[in-house]
Amino acid sequence: MTDILIRKDGTAGRITLTRPKALNALTYDMCLQIEKALDQWLDDDEVKLLLIDAEGERAFCAGGDIAQVYASGKTGDYSYGRRFWRDEYRMNAKLFEFPKPVVSFLQGFTMGGGVGVGCHGSHRIVCETSQIAMPEAGIGLVPDVGGSLLLAQAPGRLGEYLGMTAARMGAGDAIFAGFADYFVPVTQWPALKEKLIATGDWGAVDAMAQPPENSVMAAQMSEIDRYFAGETLGDILRALRAEDTDFTASVLKTISRNAPLSMACTVEMIHRMRGSEDIRRALELEYRFTHRSMEHGDFLEGVRAAIIDKDRNPKWQHDLDSIPGNAVSQMLMPLGEETLRFEKDTP
């Protein structure tokens, strides 16, 4: 059983994730296969659009399959993880920049690496079950795969809120935040896919789209903008702690579980990317962090606590209130010769 099914079907280039029991978690090989398909279809006149979907009801893609990254990193070998992220980010850039319509169907969980595959297209479709999030701070990473750009483009200070709390967006929230474009009831997806495959006309998406459910986050924007307006993690913490409300109590409880260094860098990255539309700039900035995340960050401890030992009790290297002043700049400083480039490595 393959992890991914790539083929031409009618007028569409089709990419289907086929690991439903693993919530379609994205492996390194899957990233390379997606990139290969993008390269092949770029100038293929038979391919009018791309259609990206996944098997199973529970998830489009719940994130990257990071078990091998963790295993190699624990031995002190950081090269595999760095190569994984480098090649994944190159694929993300190609998907974002693909000149033909890219239609993605995002049922269930779409998180982390799944956002990098499903949320950079031109026609991103959600349904009743959709739950989209960037939960990287919980395992000692930062929103990556171009997620920092999406967060920076979200309304107001919603990006900081989503990046720090890993809050899950339902269909209405995802459209409001700019992670999705259309709501189509899942019962209509088979007919829509058939029409897209037969005609290559993305207008079929517009014709079937319905108004999304109300966005819970849209109704919270006054609070989100008020408490997440600070320039740093410390500023945001002080604002949240200054008032005892249901909202501030809930947020403080949530972020107390996440890696402080990751959240501090997330805020800084979103601020740097705000106003930009440059996916490569975002990915290069993200790679500065992920390149260092095993050696200098909390990634290995975060994965241990959440996925390996599952004790949910990570020992982060910093407390929320004692992050050294230069820690963020050290994680995000340019990498020099190791900087992310978007050419394939030559043997």
User: Which residues are catalytically annotated?
Assistant: 64, 113, 136, 144
Q: Reduce the DSSP state of residue 325 to 3 states and report it.
A: coil
Smallest Cα–Cα separation from 266: which of 192, 332, 172, 345? 332
Residue 213 DSSP label: P
Instruction: Report yes or no: 9 and 48 within 8 Å, Cβ to Cβ.
Output: no
Instruction: Report yes or no: 127 and 183 within 8 Å, Cβ to Cβ.
Output: yes
CA 123 and chain centroid, separation: 16
How far apart are alpha carbons 69 and 82 in whole angstroms?
A: 9
- Which H or E run includes 212? none
Q: Reduce the DSSP state of residue 185 to 3 states and report it.
A: coil
Instruction: Locate 105 and state its tokens.
Output: 């169907």
Smallest Cα–Cα separation from 259: which of 279, 225, 289? 289
Instruction: Locate 131 and state its tokens.
Output: 């739950």
How far apart are alpha carbons 228 and 223 in whole angstroms?
A: 8
What does the chain come to in residues? 347
Instruction: Report yes or no: 212 and 183 within 8 Å, Cβ to Cβ.
Output: yes
Instruction: Report yes or no: 85 and 287 within 8 Å, Cβ to Cβ.
Output: yes
Smallest Cα–Cα separation from 164: which of 294, 89, 288, 253? 253
How far apart are alpha carbons 318 and 265 in whole angstroms?
A: 13
Neighbours of 8 (CB within 10 A): 15
